[in-house]
Amino acid sequence: MKNLIFKEDVDVVVAYKQQNIAMKDFVNSLQEYFNDNQELKPIYDLDLLCGGIVVCARNEQAYNNLKEAYCKNKFEFDFYAVTVGTPKFDSGTYSAHVTFDKKYNKLTHIPQLNAGAEGFGLTYATLERVQQIALVDIKLNTFIPETIRFAMADLGMPIFGDAVYGGDSLAKNTNTAFVLGKVRIVEGEGDEGGQTFVAMPPSSKPWTYFDLTKISKL
């Protein structure tokens, strides 16, 4: 567990959640590791398939302060993904209104004015292309990681290994190539100051087909 910790003090724990581990189980593991008397509270959630950086508060005051900063868009997130299919343009934007279809267990399009419609948008930038796949940096304006999976599939380049959204055409039964790799917490007014946490993707395929130093330079 020690090698997964980015920061730990009296107010906050910042750690890396590995893929295929539920948030609840991960936070419980952190709780046991630190033997905290107070309950660790994550500021946001990562779904099961998404690995990445998690910020947890260690007391109620810290949670309120961090949650307020999060609600005021003082958290900035960069997701990294490998896509099956390459973007037509090196960068772009995407927006949609969606709802969760319980029958098929995934997101689906829904008209904006319909009850339950939830809007989101993202921007993406292609860092490298290798044959049929691409390394992509994605910024999301609302924190629902599954919307990224939906959006990339809708753009014709589903995330590698994502069987739900058609990203397993090149390889079956593999981890989804999708991580929250950078979190910046802005402090004070404007964009000055703050803390930045960066995690590199796993050193396994399909990530190793790319020059991952391009991520470290972002």
Give the model confidence (pLDDT) of 134-147 as tens digits. Answer: 999 999 867 677 89
41, two tokens = 């509270």
Share of the chain above pLDDT 70, in %: 94
Pick the CATH number of 1-72 from 3.30.2350.10, 3.40.50.150, 1.10.10.10, 3.40.50.970: 3.30.2350.10
Pick the CATH number of 75-183+201-218 from 3.30.2350.10, 3.40.50.720, 1.10.10.10, 3.90.1300.10: 3.30.2350.10
- Comparing 101-105, 132-136, 156-160, 198-202, the range with the smallest average pLDDT is 101-105
What's the predicted TM-score (pTM) here? 0.89
Residue-wise pLDDT tens digits, 71-84: 888 999 999 999 99
Query: H/E/C letters for each residue in 37-53?
Result: CCCCEECCCCCCCCEEE
Residue pointed to by tokens 């279809």: 101
Is 57 within 8 Å of 44 (Cβ atoms)?
no
